[in-house]
Amino acid sequence: MDSRYTQIKQLPLFQGVSQDKILALIEKLPFHFLKFRSGERIVDLQDACTHIQFIVSGKVRLVTPWQNLRVTLEQILSAPNMLAPDFLFGREIHYPFIAYAEGTCGIVQLRKSDYIQVINSDKIFLFNILNHLSMNSQRATTSILSITRGTIAERLAMCVQALTSSTSQEIKLKFKQRDLCALLGVTRSTLIRTLDKLSAQGILTYSANEINILDSRSLKSIIHA
Amino acid sequence: MDSRYTQIKQLPLFQGVSQDKILALIEKLPFHFLKFRSGERIVDLQDACTHIQFIVSGKVRLVTPWQNLRVTLEQILSAPNMLAPDFLFGREIHYPFIAYAEGTCGIVQLRKSDYIQVINSDKIFLFNILNHLSMNSQRATTSILSITRGTIAERLAMCVQALTSSTSQEIKLKFKQRDLCALLGVTRSTLIRTLDKLSAQGILTYSANEINILDSRSLKSIIHA
């Protein structure tokens, strides 16, 4: 079997699509198969999103910085996955993060116009991408509507919810404490109290400049109770 | 000219599509043309999104309640517009609001499966809907990444940003003061100080249980400075 087929058929966008259809698309469209060494940069912050990028093997580390604060959110996406499919269209067509290969990593990319052709070639693609984009879009609405107390834990959960997906792993915040306090609108002592509590529940660990989310599902459930 | 065509061609989803194509779709697919009297309910909270609903004439008032707080956000959408196109697919396929006719109002609706057929019939539809959903999805990410101080004004702006669009008008919050303070994680006196400041800038007016956003663009610009 064509190894390109094996790599592509596992991707979420291609779920439910027939083998013949996928093979025909691989023949017809210029899919680019790229390999990155560990630590190599795949996309830089504010690069234009000219191609859809699929992760077909290995892992990618995304580093998302705040614009005016020394706070960054890191997360790992494992194959099979996509890089920011919701930044290819709309108003902001620039990546909001830097992406690095975490270990050897395989990326398949396709020009935006060819990607449109893929989606247009079968209702299943359309359905898969509408589901994906709608889910991302709903996250903002439902997480804000689920706030009940406006606690620091809820605000931390909202940040993580808005910037990561259910497939994100090893989520971390790196920060200057003063800037994280500004982001969450809180004093240092209240922040530490909240982090101590979440740490005791096994949801995260933290040090002076870093929070490691151990259990993002439990963290997010704080705003979906 | 067919009045159904005149109503449909103005909709954002149909921008750039030829007259022949639109007329053919109107013939082929069961578009429902509905009229609502002022004050009539068009959709109820948590109704299943089984149809795409287009506003083709008049205005619709959306009332979005928080799940566990006595706070609601109201907004007016004018024709031509859509009701919650990002809640037809994904995880949450129930309306997060109640929609009422504000004056006499015309709605065109189409079953979800027929809506998929429309999008699939031409690349322009696909492009229009990808743009729309991506823009909604980006709102969450970019508004959180733009926070620089975590002030109450920024948090209020984020709520409005996440729950309204650039076409929303007459945006209002109605609340029990205690619950709004909880939502924003703030004391009553700090809230009043912030509202006084925004009011002096002409961004909003407020009373004991209601905030009227007069200038939503300026409010949103607080998190996009």
Chain A residues 55-74 within an 8 A CB cutoff of chain B: 64-69
pLDDT digits (tens, 9 = 90+) for A168-178: 999 999 999 99
Query: Quick check: A183 and B147 CB within 8 A?
Result: yes
CATH 2.60.120.10 positions along chain B are: 3-137
Nearest to B49 by CA among A224, A221, A131, A146: A131
Give the separation between CA B203 and CA A21, rounded to whole angstroms.
54
**β-pairing, A71-78 with A204-207?**
unpaired
Name the pTM for this structure.
Answer: 0.92
| pLDDT value of residue B198 | 97
Q: What is the pLDDT of residues A101-118, one digit of tens each?
A: 999 999 999 999 999 999
The pLDDT score that the predictor gives to residue B219 is 95
**Domain span(s) for CATH 2.60.120.10 in chain A:** 3-136
CATH code that applies to domain A3-136: 2.60.120.10
Q: What is the CATH number of domain B146-221?
A: 1.10.10.10
What pLDDT sits at residue B168? Answer: 95
How distant is the Cα of B213 from the closest Cα of chain A, in angstroms?
Answer: 18
**pLDDT tens digits along A149-191:** 889 999 999 999 989 998 999 999 999 999 999 999 889 999 9
Residue B167 contacts A where some CB pair is shorter than 8 Å: no
Domain B3-137, CATH class in plain words: mainly beta
With a CB cutoff of 8 Å and minimum separation 6, the contacts of B110 are: B29, B30, B31, B32, B51, B52, B54, B118
Q: Considering chain A, tell me which residue range(s) the CATH 1.10.10.10 domain(s) occupy.
A: 146-221
What ipTM was reported for this prediction? Answer: 0.90
pLDDT for A28-60, tens place per residue? 999 999 999 999 999 999 999 999 999 999 999
| Per-residue confidence (pLDDT) for residue B225, from 0 to 100 | 64
For residue A141, which residues of chain B lie inside 8 Å, CB to CB?
96, 162-163
Give B143's contacts in chain A (Cβ within 8 Å).
140
Q: Tell if the CB–CB gap between A90 and B145 is shorter than 8 Å.
A: no
Q: Which sign, positive or negative, has the C-alpha torsion B200, B202, B206, B211? A: negative
